[in-house]
């Protein structure tokens, strides 16, 4: 993606941004404050900036006259960066008193690691579990009238070096016709074995040469959303992607309520049908999204990852033991099988690979993340966290792995927060305030008028309020501060993030003390989960060499602010990697490399699961973590230093 630099003056700060990013996003990343209380909708007109160098355009609004526009004035929220720019922030916009420039704290972002197909290829690992092999058999004659299958086996042994192949029964009825239609030239689809002793298995045969048409789907069955990606097994190129709400949400928001529903008569089958329908919708969209490029018959592979409950519900396996001590899943490793048998709208020869899982609360989605992130091959002591309603934590390296799960509650997904919402259009995801006026700068998803606050916005907002001493380490507001934005409403103290007339919802969007309390409990659960798991394996927070963040939540997260509230163990931000949907990435990689399908069996075997409910020290760690950032500030030396300076 094309990059441009934006220099902000009078600050001495320069930032590199992607083409098309808004100036307000650039400013926020740079840590430069511009009063921008409407979140990018162009409503408040406060975010006026002067572009002094470089070509820029913005929508003409009644907030700027033609003369102002000609002079270089722009609304930062409506200006997309398409050139290297020098941008002057007018001091009235910074709302800063006394001429002294405010402190600049650039947003610390995690490295985004996506799967690198070239790395796979160079490592000799690009051997998909499903392979198409073209064969040209010599037609039978009087001298050799052995059976079609015998002929095929002999030839494949010659071509692949592998004798005594297995074959799916359902392939055999196709063989005589396919061979004779194609003058004994055909393409055989082989499924490579997951264990060394086993043989490859023939799962399909087609007339002619189809080796170029070998496609796969990676599927992440989330409790909330089902994501799919259709890609080409030749070169890993993405053909289409699609996500859809898991229709099971009608039967319960979280896994526990789904399990309760599954225990009702017919409930399990109903939930299975419902998620299969959702998946089939996703498959349909992936195919239609491919144009006419991909024929469904050419999809050889579907790799499926989900948490343990989603996995069992999808497979029709009674999940009741998942929610009852001692929390036992039905199986950890599932055999591969025809996707068709699972009710998916895919041919019988499409093989479904179900990601193995560790325990009732560390599921296939997490194992996929561990595989997809490369953690299991890392030399570094790594902390892997997948953040959602439940947070799953894995610690270890290529030598050993341990894991646990904790219930973070729905705060990060907007649950239990007065104006909480998912990271959809209009969600406040970035936030800063002017330290003198307490006026905010907002960034919203899609630069839309604000509708609410999403998880990353919540973390940033609480961190910013804490850094600016509007709240204390217990999360209580400093009511000595005088600003109309801080008020008591119906007995609850709250900060007005956006005034009603600048929102999309016609009401003041506020952040309340109970919201902050919920966030502290959520982040405390995760932090103490990490701490407890490390302690159980004889380590401490300071031993961590690398953090990998996975989950839908987290892509925009400001690491500095995450450390500020004690959401993550403090570490050099350069050592934090954000991988996004680890479940989907792991699923995709397993479809691309059979080595990973083999390795995952080892990984599952070596990973030790800890149930926090069985770990006595967890509660102590949790209570100690119910502060900003923590009762023990020494765990956050960088923050401690910063707060001391401030």
Q: Give the residue from 538, 610, 605 showing the smallest Cα distance to 370.
A: 605
Chain center to CA of 256: 22
In angstroms, the CA 635 to CA 622 distance is 14
With contact defined as beta carbons under 8 Å apart, do 246 and 226 qualify?
Answer: yes
CB 260, min distance to a second copy, A: 16
Residue nearer to a second copy on the CB measure, 148 or 429: 148
Helix residue ranges per DSSP H, 137-248: 148-160, 175-181
Nearer to a second copy among residue 257 and residue 338 (C-beta): 338
Q: How far is the CB of 138 from a second copy (least distance, A)?
A: 12
CB of 211 to a second copy, least distance (A): 24
Question: C-alpha 228: how far from its chain's center?
Answer: 13
What is the closest distance, in whole angstroms, from the C-beta atom of residue 127 to a second copy in the complex?
Answer: 21
218 is written with which tokens? 């990676």
DSSP 290: T
Q: Dig out the tokens for 560 from the structure.
A: 């500095």
For the CB of residue 623, give the shortest distance to a second copy in the complex, in Å.
Answer: 22
CA distance 47 to 92: 10
Pick between residue 174 and residue 638 the one whose CB is nearest to a second copy: 174
Q: How far is the CB of 162 from a second copy (least distance, A)?
A: 12
At its nearest, how many Å lie between a second copy and the CB of residue 80? Answer: 51
Least Cβ distance, residue 302 to a second copy (angstroms): 14
Cβ proximity to a second copy: between 175 and 459 the closer is: 175
CA-based nearest residue to 499, from 512, 481, 516, 484: 484
Copy the structure tokens of residue 293. 């490029």
Q: Which is nearer to a second copy, 124 or 164 (CB)?
A: 164
- Smaller CB separation from a second copy, 337 or 619: 337
Q: Which is nearer to a second copy, 361 or 553 (CB)?
A: 361
Per-residue tokens: 24? 């307000």
Q: How far apart are CA 591 and CA 596, in angstroms?
A: 9
3-state DSSP assignment of residue 405: strand
Q: Which residues bind a second copy (CB under 8 A)?
A: 140-142, 145-150, 164, 166-169, 172-173, 175-177, 180, 195, 197-199, 315-318, 320-321, 325-335, 337, 341, 357, 359-360, 609, 611, 614
Q: Within 13 Å and on the Cβ side, how many CA atoms surround 505?
A: 16
Q: Which is nearer to a second copy, 238 or 337 (CB)?
A: 337
**Which of residues 184 and 556 has its CB atom nearest to a second copy in the complex?**
184
Minimum CB–partner distance for residue 145 and a second copy (Å): 4
Tokens 């934006």 locate to 6
CB 400 to a second copy: min, Å? 17
Least gap, CB of 259 to a second copy (angstroms) = 12
Q: State the Cα–Cα distance between residues 438 and 273, nearest whole angstrom.
A: 52
**Could you tell me the smallest distance in angstroms from the CB atom of residue 352 to a second copy?**
9
Query: How are beta strands 185-191 and 130-136 bridged, if at all?
Result: antiparallel
Of 35 and 248, the one with the shorter C-beta distance to a second copy is 248
- Burial level of 441, CB count in 10 A (0-12/13-18/19+)? buried
| CB of residue 58 to a second copy, shortest distance in Å | 58
Q: How far is the CB of 335 from a second copy (least distance, A)?
A: 5
CB nearer to a second copy: pick between 213 and 317: 317
Contact criterion met (CB below 8 Å) for 540 and 495: no
Residue with tokens 């579990």: 129
Distance separating alpha carbons of residues 626 and 342, to the nearest angstrom: 44
Nearer Cβ to a second copy (138/479): 138
Q: Is the Cβ–Cβ distance between 387 and 408 less than 8 Å? A: yes
3-state secondary structure 409-429: CHHHHCCCCCCECCCCCCEEE
- Give the nearer residue to a second copy in terms of CB position, either 334 or 527: 334
Tell me, rounded to whole angstroms, the distance of Cα 232 from its chain centroid.
22
CA dihedral 447, 550, 215, 248 (to 10 degrees): -80
Positive or negative, the CA dihedral 26, 31, 34, 35 is positive
The runs of H, that is alpha helices, within 322-400 are 364-372
- Give the dihedral of Cα atoms 273, 279, 281, 282; nearest 10 deg: 170
Q: Which candidate, 381, 377, 382, places its Cα nearest to that of 595?
A: 377
In the complex, the smallest distance separating the C-beta of residue 576 from a second copy, rounded to whole angstroms, is: 32
Q: Which residues pair with 22 in a beta bridge?
A: 80
Q: Whole-number minimum distance, CB 178 to a second copy, in Å?
A: 11
Q: Which is nearer to a second copy, 513 or 536 (CB)?
A: 536
- C-alpha count within 13 angstroms, C-beta hemisphere, residue 332: 16
- Compare residues 336 and 512 and give the one whose CB is closer to a second copy: 336
Handedness of CA 204, 206, 208, 214 (dihedral sign): negative
> What per-residue string of b and e applies to 593-624 under the rule 16 or more CB within 10 Å gives b?
bbbbbbbbeebbeebebbbbeebeebeebbeb
Which residue lies nearer to a second copy by CB, 173 or 506? Answer: 173
């Amino acid at each position: 993606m094309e990059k441009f630099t934006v220099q902000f003056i009078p600050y001495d700060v320069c930032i590199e941004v992607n083409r098309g990013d808004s100036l307000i996003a650039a400013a926020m990343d740079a840590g430069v404050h511009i009063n921008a209380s409407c979140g990018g909708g162009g409503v408040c007109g406060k975010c006026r900036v002067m572009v002094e160098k470089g070509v820029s355009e913005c929508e003409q609004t009644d907030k700027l006259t033609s003369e102002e526009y000609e002079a270089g004035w722009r609304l930062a929220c409506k200006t997309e960066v398409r050139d290297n720019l020098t941008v002057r922030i007018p001091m009235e916009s910074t709302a800063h008193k006394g001429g002294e420039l405010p402190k600049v704290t650039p947003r610390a972002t995690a490295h985004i690691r996506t799967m690198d197909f070239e790395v796979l290829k160079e490592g000799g690992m690009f051997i998909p579990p499903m392979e198409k092999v073209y064969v040209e058999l010599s037609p039978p004659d009087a001298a050799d009238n052995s059976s079609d299958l015998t002929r095929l086996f002999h030839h494949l042994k010659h071509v692949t070096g592998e004798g005594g192949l297995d074959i799916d029964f359902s392939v055999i009825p196709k063989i005589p016709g396919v061979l004779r239609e194609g003058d004994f030239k055909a393409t055989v689809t082989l499924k490579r074995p997951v264990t060394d002793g086993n043989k490859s298995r023939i799962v399909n045969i087609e007339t002619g040469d189809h080796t170029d048409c070998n496609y796969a789907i990676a599927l992440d069955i989330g409790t909330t959303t089902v994501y799919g990606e259709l890609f080409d097994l030749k070169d890993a190129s993405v053909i289409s992607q699609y996500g859809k709400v898991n229709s099971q949400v009608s039967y319960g928001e979280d896994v526990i309520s789904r399990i309760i529903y599954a225990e009702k008569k017919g409930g399990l089958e109903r939930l299975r049908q419902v998620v299969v329908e959702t998946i089939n919708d996703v498959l349909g969209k992936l195919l239609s999204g491919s144009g006419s490029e991909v024929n469904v018959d050419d999809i050889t592979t579907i790799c499926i990852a989900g948490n343990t409950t989603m996995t069992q519900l999808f497979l029709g396996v009674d999940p009741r033991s998942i929610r009852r001590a001692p929390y036992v899943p039905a199986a950890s490793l599932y055999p591969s099988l025809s996707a068709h048998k699972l009710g998916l709208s895919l041919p019988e020869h499409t093989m479904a690979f179900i990601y193995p899982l560790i325990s009732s609360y560390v599921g296939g989605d997490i194992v996929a993340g561990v595989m997809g992130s490369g953690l299991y091959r890392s030399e570094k002591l790594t902390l892997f966290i997948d953040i959602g309603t439940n947070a799953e934590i894995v610690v270890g390296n290529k030598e050993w792995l341990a894991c646990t799960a904790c219930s973070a509650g729905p705060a990060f997904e907007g649950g239990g927060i007065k104006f909480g919402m998912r990271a959809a259009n209009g969600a406040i995801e970035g936030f800063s305030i002017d330290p003198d006026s307490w006026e905010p700068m907002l960034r919203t998803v899609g630069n839309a008028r604000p509708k609410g606050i999403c998880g990353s916005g919540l973390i940033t907002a609480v961190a910013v309020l804490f850094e600016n001493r509007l709240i204390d380490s217990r999360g209580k507001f400093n009511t000595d501060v005088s600003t109309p934005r801080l008020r008591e409403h119906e007995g609850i103290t709250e900060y007005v993030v956006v005034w009603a007339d600048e929102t999309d919802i016609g009401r003041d969007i506020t952040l309340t003390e109970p919201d902050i309390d919920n966030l502290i409990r959520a982040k405390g659960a995760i932090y103490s989960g990490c701490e407890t798991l490390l302690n159980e394996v004889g380590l401490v927070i300071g031993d961590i060499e690398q953090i990998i963040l996975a989950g839908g939540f987290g892509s925009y997260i400001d690491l500095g602010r995450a450390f500020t509230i004690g959401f993550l163990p403090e570490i050099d931000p350069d050592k934090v990697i954000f991988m996004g949907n680890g479940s989907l990435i792991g699923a995709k990689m397993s479809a691309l490399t059979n080595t990973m399908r083999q390795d995952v069996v080892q990984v599952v075997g070596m990973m030790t699961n800890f149930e926090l409910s069985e770990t006595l020290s967890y509660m102590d760690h949790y209570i100690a973590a119910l502060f900003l950032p923590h009762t023990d500030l020494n765990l956050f030396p960088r923050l401690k230093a910063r707060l001391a300076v401030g």
